[in-house]
Amino acid sequence: MDRLGGELPMDRYEPPQDLAASESAYSRYRELVDDWAGFCAALEQPLLPCIRVNTGRISRQDLIALLHEEGFDPQPVPWHAEALTVGGGFRPGCHWGFIAGLFQPQEAASMLPAALLDPRPGERALDLCAAPGNKTAQIADALGNRGTVVANDAKRGRHGALSQTLKRLGVVNVAQTVRDGQGMPWEVGTFDRVLVDAPCSCEGTFRKNALAAEATPEPFRERLSRLQQRLLHRGLEMTRAGGTLVYATCTFAPEENEAVVAAALERFGGAVELLPARVPGLHLEPGLEAWGGQRFGPALARCGRLWPHHNDTGGFFVAVFRRLEPGRGQADPEPVAADPDAQSRLAVFRDAFGVPESVLAGLTAFYEGRKYTRIVASDQRPPRAAIREGAGLPAVRAESRWPKPATAAALALGPHARRQVLEVDAAEAAAFMRRRAVVPGPERRPEGPEGGYVLVRYRGYPIGVGEQRRGAIQSLFPKAWGPKGSERLYGLEPAGEGPA
């Protein structure tokens, strides 16, 4: 999470020639680190690209094979079953598999909080500080794309990135809210799992951005600490008895980590307890029991500190709470009610594209606005419409001559289509993602009416929707999803090849 919701610059910081011998924002932690020279050497090295596999669409082993074929060097992250680091010049955001929702770029360290949260199918989860959505999608995947995830962020402008992530990945069990997390309404209900990935001073992101190297002024850190405490307290109140809350930051500062956790333990007393924050195969140092003359107590050793030099990652802090007594949240809302007209429009996937009824079962269609019908997991219990910003995925455009599938729903349901499908090669896929027409021969052209719609797939994976026009398939790929200008589409276009 960034500093109080502000955007972080993504240009890499150029460290001093000898960081270990220099004074920097990190010098205050010299006595905490077991290997100061190794810590500084790790900070001076850029991270390899890391991705989380969208297991609802492709297995990790199949993605490894696919990337190997394309000349990249994917390596499993030993402690996380869905994560890969990828060498060989890989640029995740420019690869066709990212656009098709096969994976999400996500630094390995940032996968730790949701891994410790350990959400299970059928549960209700809250991501209190959710944008840009990487951890939200990780939680939704762990729930099997069913149940309920409420993704909240205080800044409306940050929800665009969150929405795009959910649409590409085909997530139907998430509802979004725009609320100050310190005052999240009690009407959203209670939760089995709550993630508080709090705004922080971001010192652990040094290997990705420049801002992390700047010293944090003490008044600003005090302000952060007060905000973090209020977010954590609200999250704990919304956790059911027996539920789990993970508090996380990407900073090394004890004032934002152990001090915040200790304040929560003091406030909630016997209503909560700390669980060991440990993951098999990952080196996590214990939390601090004291710092700067302040004693936090032996329980804080159950927290986890992720130092960059131990696992070749960024830095993170995590604490795992169990709620022992009921909190203050109200009864859970009811599931979204199906709209008969919206549900009937969803039938286009069955009737026109041959998607089996069994695949559509468990999805509820409704209107949120009149432009598109939307689909959610039928067991989702989102906040009521007056509180939420949106729920589920756009599915079918409401007003068009032929029912037009939304790209998000085409990517989610298209693997199961048996009719009106065009399988394309690499050159055609690149053209399609650049919004150019594809002209298949008569033997490949799908049957269907002029002006009707076609699901387009590459290597069996849906990449969007096309429209039949005079023997060609006109690309309806969203402008916002495709490559910009002369950006190369990795995995589809040879080096040096760009738009015509």
Is 46 known as a binding-site position? no
Reported confidence tier of residue 464, pLDDT bands at 50, 70, 90: very high
Reported confidence tier of residue 493, pLDDT bands at 50, 70, 90: confident
Reported confidence tier of residue 95, pLDDT bands at 50, 70, 90: very high
Mean pLDDT in residue range 204-209: 85
Residue 352 predicted with pLDDT over 80: yes
Domain limits of the chain? 421-500
Structural tokens at position 84: 């890969």
Looking at 40, 50, 200, 250, which residue is catalytic? 250
pLDDT at 426: 96
pLDDT at 451: 85
pLDDT at 308: 96
Is 134 known as a binding-site position? yes
Residue ranges of the alpha helices (H) in 238-322?
A: 258-268, 308-311
Is 73 known as a binding-site position? no
Instruction: Tell me the per-residue pLDDT of 231-260, one tens digit each, with 9 for 90 and over.
Output: 999 999 999 999 999 999 999 999 999 999
pLDDT at 46: 87
Tokens 């190297």 correspond to: 213
The CA distance from 404 to 420, in Å, is: 13
The CA distance from 465 to 448, in Å, is: 14
pLDDT at 9: 42
Sheet hosting strand 393-397, strand order edge to edge: 363-367, 372-377, 393-397, 404-405
Q: Give the type of residue at 110.
A: S
**Three-state secondary structure call for residue 22:** coil
DSSP labels for 336-374? PPPPHHHHHHHTHHHHTT---HHHHTTEEEEESSSSEEE
| Cβ-contact 204, 315 below 8 angstroms | yes
Is 484 known as a binding-site position? no
Mean pLDDT in residue range 390-396: 94
CA proximity to 422, closest of 464, 451, 394? 464
421-500 CATH: 3.10.450.720
Instruction: Tell me the per-residue pLDDT of 137-188, one tens digit each, with 9 for 90 and over.
Output: 999 999 999 999 999 999 888 888 999 999 999 999 999 999 999 999 999 9
Residue 199 predicted with pLDDT over 70: yes
Residue 33 predicted with pLDDT over 80: yes
pLDDT at 500: 42
For a pLDDT cut of 90, what percent of the chain falls above it? 79
Mean pLDDT in residue range 401-424: 93
Question: Is 200 one of the annotated active-site residues of the chain?
Answer: no
* Greater pLDDT, 399 or 126: 126
Q: Whole-model pTM?
A: 0.94
